[in-house]
Amino acid sequence: MPLLSLLTKDKKRQKEETNLESLEVHIEVPEEIKKQLEVIGLTERDLQVMRSLEPTIREHIDDITEQFYANITKQPNLMEIIEDHSTLGRLKTTLKQHIEELFDGRVDQDFLEKRYRIAFAHVRVGLETKWYVGAFQSLLNSLFDILRVEIEQPTQFTEAIQTLTKMLNFEQQLVIEAYEQEHKRLRHEQQAQADELHRKVREVALELAGTSQETSSSITELTSQSQNVKEMANQGTELAKKSEDASEAGKRQVEYQNENMDSMEQGMERITENAQGLREVSKRITEVIDIVSGIAEQTNLLALNASIESARAGEYGKGFAVVAEEIRKLSEQTKQSTSTVADLIKDVNQQSSHVTESIDSIRSFVELGKGSMKETTDSFVTILTYMRETVQHNERIDQETKQLLENIQEMDQASATVAASADRLTHMTEQM
């Protein structure tokens, strides 16, 4: 090659170098970021090269953008993200601005913040890292193709490609690191929420277990009192039957009067939830106690009426007066026992109030069977009628007490189920 030709090329290269060095660039980043720049060898010289390429890139910016989104829209999942959170038109405008900023020769805090915001936005819309990296490669390919056509001098082309690769690599470092930090922050938030849920569930489980234990103790005492009520009801039934037999033997002419009593309808819905069961059974028992107390009042009144009629009967009624007095005492004992049971029910209700947020009240209904007896003009017939009614009332006390014990057993089973559930819940929280 002629010497003149070589000298001409050298002068042209020197002129280009001079023009390149005159381009104003700026690097102002934290020390940690400077280390990243040093690793990839990104210098102010590279920023000057990027600035020198800016007119060429601006000239082809529309083609670059169209090619970029042509590749993106081939993926249905990426297109779905775009349609859910933005529009192609808006994104193309943003990409153009973003690409132009890569070639403005500035790497500062504003440059970093914009890359961080890009990463946060990608995490927010659910764009995975692999799609971001793939799209970036598509952008890099488009830029390479343009520079290959526009730069004829091999040395300049090589330097341009190296500089562009460094710049895009640096941007990827920033965005991917921000990706990781945002994912880490989200994981920490999720873990904190899981820990808080674990703590609350454990507190509820412990409180539920404590309430179940207290309820179990109350049920034990309630069962004992109910057994006492049942025994007293049996004793009252036996006394009333003896009085009835004596009345029939003393006055055979007294016609037996049978009065059908409306049987009491009892219905209780199955326990839908363990905690609900406790409150429902307590309510049922309270109503039963009210019935027993009412029957005891009626028994006391019947015993008083029997005593009055026995006095009218004179000598024949003395034996009945003794029986009537025994029945009256028994009804007083029944009232005292039902009062004690009622107090225990109040305790159970107070203990079950700790879980009122997890239980719903269910309807319970009891229809009391009522009967009426025809009054007779004969005092002995009246005594017989009262004794029969006393027998029936005491049998009802026995029936109600049996139902009471069954309800208590259901309550005990429900309490045990709640306790077992609380234990399982506690075990689950320990494994979380």
What are the distances in angstroms from CA 325 to CA 17, 233, 303, 429?
Answer: 128, 16, 7, 62
What b-and-e string marks burial along 386-399, b requiring 16 or more CB atoms within 10 Å of the CB? bbbbbbbbbbbbbe
CA 248 to chain centroid, in Å, comes to 67
- pLDDT at position 11 is 38
* Torsion region of 378: left, alpha or beta (phi above 0 gives left; psi -120 to 50 gives alpha): beta
- Closest by CA to 132, choosing from 79, 175, 74, 181, is 175
The Cα 254–Cα 182 span in angstroms is 97
Instruction: Give pLDDT tens digits along the chain (432 positions).
Output: 332 232 233 434 444 554 788 899 999 999 999 999 999 999 999 999 999 999 999 999 999 999 988 888 888 998 898 888 888 899 899 889 999 999 999 999 999 999 899 888 888 888 888 888 888 898 999 999 999 999 999 999 999 999 999 999 999 888 888 878 887 888 888 888 888 887 887 887 788 777 777 777 777 877 787 777 667 767 767 766 776 787 678 667 646 655 665 665 676 566 467 667 767 877 887 787 788 778 878 877 877 787 787 788 877 777 777 777 888 788 788 778 878 877 877 776 777 677 676 656 645 654 665 565 577 667 667 767 876 776 787 678 778 877 877 877 787 787 778 778 777 777 776 666
- pLDDT at position 237 is 72
- pLDDT at position 249 is 80
**Cα Rg of the chain (Å, integer):** 47
Amino acid at 10: D
Give the position of tokens 């973003």: 98
* Pairing status of strand 26-27 against strand 106-107: parallel
Tallying the residues shown for the chain, one arrives at 432
What CATH number should be reported for the domain whose range is 14-150?
1.10.490.10
- Closest by CA to 321, choosing from 400, 421, 246, 222, is 246
CA dihedral 94→96→102→108, nearest 10 degrees, is: -30
Q: What are phi and psi of 412, to 5 degrees?
A: -65, -45
